[in-house]
């Protein structure tokens, strides 16, 4: 992407954070459909920061990750990712098993078993196959979460965007894929919009981060659009760092 990197003030970050928040509620519907997680078992927190601040602001640390990435095109361009600690992905996998494969309540009306597992005892089920199913579920969840967010950009701001096919990295031991995306964002966009998604269904607890890294042109488009709509640019929330 060409164009200089714009310097985004704290105030503009807050404006972006508030705008991004308007779309985040749609994520609960996606989680309910894909993973069977009830909306009341999901807590969302929206964070807008610079790419270099991502780890400090999210507390992600240096743990191995599972993530899905895609590119966004249209009125706002950039990269979008769904990130989980790999350890949390194991928890997510169990939630998927319970909710979708029906392991917690065999034969339940709501559960179902893939063709290749039908007729087999749970103990016999191939762990790797189940894992593959969970990777598929995670990728599709990302696809739907990305889509939900982009739909909200359209519905709330009339910004038309579309995404490429999502790509899964099942194990990012050294966070190479995340670092590559954050570095690009630091060079070409300077904004990281994150929704921290904490899920606690049935005593489980795991976190995911939906990360949107718009390029400079996209940030400009977004802020110009907001200004044109008459959104006040002097909004200041208590505790917000000085701009």
Site for other proteins, rule CB under 8 A? 26, 29-30, 32-34, 74, 96, 100, 110, 112, 114, 133, 136-137, 139-140, 143-144, 146-148, 150-151, 154-155, 160-163, 165
| Alpha carbon separation from 80 to 51, 177, 222, 229 (Å, rounded) | 13, 12, 16, 25
The minimum distance between CB 37 and other proteins, in angstroms, equals 12
> Would you say 16 or 141 has its CB closer to other proteins?
141
CB 72 within 8 A of CB 212: yes
- DSSP conformation class of 193: E
Can you tell me whether residue 155 is helix, strand or coil?
helix
> What is the C-alpha separation between 148 and 82, in angstroms, rounded?
13
The minimum distance between CB 60 and other proteins, in angstroms, equals 25
The minimum distance between CB 139 and other proteins, in angstroms, equals 7
Q: Which residues pair with 201 in a beta bridge?
A: none
> Would you say 56 or 109 has its CB closer to other proteins?
109
> Would you say 33 or 87 has its CB closer to other proteins?
33
| 64 CB-near residues (< 8 Å, 6+ apart) | 85, 86, 87, 171, 172, 173, 174, 175
- DSSP conformation class of 75: S
The minimum distance between CB 200 and other proteins, in angstroms, equals 20
The minimum distance between CB 197 and other proteins, in angstroms, equals 14
CB 173 within 8 A of CB 64: yes
The minimum distance between CB 123 and other proteins, in angstroms, equals 22
> Would you say 89 or 133 has its CB closer to other proteins?
133
> What is the C-alpha separation between 19 and 33, in angstroms, rounded?
24
> Would you say 26 or 55 has its CB closer to other proteins?
26
> What is the C-alpha separation between 36 and 33, in angstroms, rounded?
6
The minimum distance between CB 126 and other proteins, in angstroms, equals 15
> Would you say 170 or 179 has its CB closer to other proteins?
170
Can you tell me whether residue 230 is helix, strand or coil?
coil
| Alpha carbon separation from 31 to 47, 146, 180, 198 (Å, rounded) | 19, 12, 27, 11
> Would you say 96 or 195 has its CB closer to other proteins?
96
């Amino acid at each position: 992407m060409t164009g200089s990197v714009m310097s985004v003030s704290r105030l503009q970050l807050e404006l972006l954070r508030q705008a991004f928040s308007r779309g985040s509620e749609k994520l609960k519907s996606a989680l309910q459909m894909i993973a069977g997680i009830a909306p009341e078992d999901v807590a969302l927190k929206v964070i807008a920061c610079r790419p270099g601040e991502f780890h400090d602001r999210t507390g992600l640390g240096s743990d191995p990750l599972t993530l899905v990435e895609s590119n966004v095109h249209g009125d706002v361009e950039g990269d979008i990712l769904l990130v989980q600690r790999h350890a949390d992905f194991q928890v997510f996998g169990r939630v998927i098993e319970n909710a979708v494969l029906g392991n917690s309540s065999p034969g339940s009306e709501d559960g179902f078993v893939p063709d290749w597992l039908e007729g087999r005892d749970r103990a016999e089920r191939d762990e790797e196959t189940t894992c593959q199913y969970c990777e598929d579920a995670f990728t599709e969840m990302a696809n739907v979460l990305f889509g939900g967010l982009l739909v909200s950009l359209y519905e709330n701001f009339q910004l038309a965007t579309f995404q490429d096919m999502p790509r899964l990295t099942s194990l990012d031991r050294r966070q190479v894929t995340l670092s590559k995306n954050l570095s690009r964002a630091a060079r070409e966009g300077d904004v990281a919009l994150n929704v921290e998604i904490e899920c606690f269904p049935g005593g489980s607890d795991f976190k995911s981060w939906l990360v949107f890294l718009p390029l400079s042109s996209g940030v400009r488009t977004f802020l110009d659009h907001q200004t044109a709509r008459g959104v006040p640019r002097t909004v200041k929330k208590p505790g917000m760092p000085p701009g």
